[in-house]
Amino acid sequence: MIENGTEKAYFAGGCFWGVEYWLRRFDSVLSVQSGYMGGTLENPSYGEVSTGTTGHAETVEVVFYPKRLSYRDLAKRFFEIHDPTVLNRQGPDTGEQYRSVIFYTTKEQKHTIEELIGILRDRGYKVVTKVVPAGNFYPAEDYHQDYYEKSGGTPYCHTPVRRFSEE
């Protein structure tokens, strides 16, 4: 859904710190916020989500300008900054809260994601990324926001890997 010239996208691919770090690098991204989505517990805390029993995944909410950055390019980047073939894990982080999932907000987003997954599968990738409708997004605690910018570190379990060539 586009509001005030912006669109929202929701991606979960392991620790939200790394996903936030890499998606924030696009010039046409207005904001990236770490949080939780996909579970049943309202207003979950990091401690609760970390138990792996809430159904939530560590998720980032991306607000971007679709006239300058297509959802397709944003989703392609997501598939290139995490391993979409690993179930419930990224790097050393293990559990359902670290699963690969894209929460779509429109039919167009869903179609784009399914098309990209089809391209990856045609290239031999055994993609496990789930594609589900977006639900309530719960922002994570303040200390999780802009984590790498605040700490001066870099992602430990998200390394970009080129999976798409020019189509």
pLDDT in tens, 117-133: 999 999 999 999 999 99
Q: Which of 8, 9, 10, 15 is catalytic?
A: 15
Determine the Cα–Cα distance for residues 50 and 137; give it in Å rounded to an integer.
Answer: 16
- Read off the pTM: 0.94
The label of the residue with tokens 């979409």 reads 84
The label of the residue with tokens 């029993």 reads 53
- Please answer whether residues 8 and 61 qualify as being in contact, where contact means their C-beta atoms are separated by less than 8 angstroms: yes
* CATH number at 2-151: 3.30.1060.10
Active site (annotated) includes residue 157: no
Q: Closest Cα to residue 105, out of 11, 5, 41?
A: 11
Q: Please give the chain's pLDDT, 167 residues, in tens.
A: 566 889 999 999 999 989 999 999 988 999 999 999 999 999 999 999 999 999 999 999 999 999 999 999 999 999 999 999 999 999 889 999 999 999 999 999 999 999 999 999 999 999 999 999 999 999 999 888 887 788 788 887 788 899 997 65
